[in-house]
Chain A
Amino acid sequence: ETGVTQSPTHLIKTRGQQVTLRCSSQSGHNTVSWYQQALGQGPQFIFQYYREEENGRGNFPPRFSGLQFPNYSSELNVNALELDDSALYLCASSLPGRGPDTQYFGPGTRLTVL
């Protein structure tokens, strides 16, 4: 039990639609990172938010965007969904300065794009 929750668990969308995925972090964890894990692959870093500001971004297009809220929750938004966006989306929260091993992952949201 990591204290990080994600919703929904599963989601089915069609190509071209928009989707919002949600993550609730542990209290006090002011850094959240989002990852995309395609089938048979490792998690790929999408972006990180620190104190509600984007604090680093991986190799993902601008149609992937995020928000972080003062209550330690966050959102991943994906516009103009493509078939290749089908994946498990993971969020991970952490407390900066406590070392890299204090990153806690949620169980993920499985997105299927048809």
Chain B
Amino acid sequence: DQQVKQNSPSLSVQEGRISILNCDYTNSMFDYFLWYKKYPAEGPTFLISISSIKDKNEDGRFTVFLNKSAKHLSLHIVPSQPGDSAVYFCAAKNTGNQFYFGTGTSLTVIP
């Protein structure tokens, strides 16, 4: 039962343009949503999070949007840089501090 879904396995974007990564979830009891970035041979690294009571959180080039009615969140990266090329995982946390991850989206930023 996949409670968090990332339907785009890959995304290619030109350097300087906006990257938009999408994520859908099914459990309305999640209280936090997070994005992680993963390079090969490394564990996921936290990127940005948003509480379920917010609809937007911004940190530099990264913005996460949450649409609770649609059970959808997205990560915007602008401007995209070649160093942003990695696999991005969307995750959701329940009140029991258990994390559920999506299957990841591989982002390639083309110079």
* Residues of chain A whose beta carbon lies under 8 Å from any beta carbon of chain B: 2, 4, 31, 33, 35, 40-45, 48, 55-56, 58-59, 90, 92, 96, 99-108
Contact = CB atoms under 8 A, between A and B. Distances in A.
A2 B93 contact: no
B77 to A, nearest CB: 17
- Among B36, B42, B96, B99, max chain A CB count under 10 A is at B99
Interface residues of B, number: 26
Contacts of B43: 2, 4, 90, 92, 105-108
A108 B104 CA distance: 17
Contacts, number: 64
Given A41-B103, A108-B43, A101 B98 contact: no
Nearest 3 interchain pairs by C-beta: A105-B43, A42-B101, A100-B32
B49 A105 contact: no
A35 B98 CA distance: 11
Interface string B73-111: 000000000000000010101001111111110000000
Nearest to A31: B97
Nearest to A106: B43
Interface in B13-51: 32, 34, 36, 41-46, 48-49
A44, A100, A101, A108 pick with most chain B CB within 10 angstroms: A100
29 contacts: A4-B43, A33-B98, A35-B99, A40-B103, A42-B4, A42-B89, A42-B91, A43-B89, A43-B99, A44-B101, A45-B98, A45-B99, A48-B97, A48-B98, A55-B97, A56-B97, A59-B1, A90-B43, A96-B97, A99-B32, A100-B32, A100-B97, A100-B99, A101-B34, A105-B36, A105-B45, A107-B41, A107-B42, A107-B43
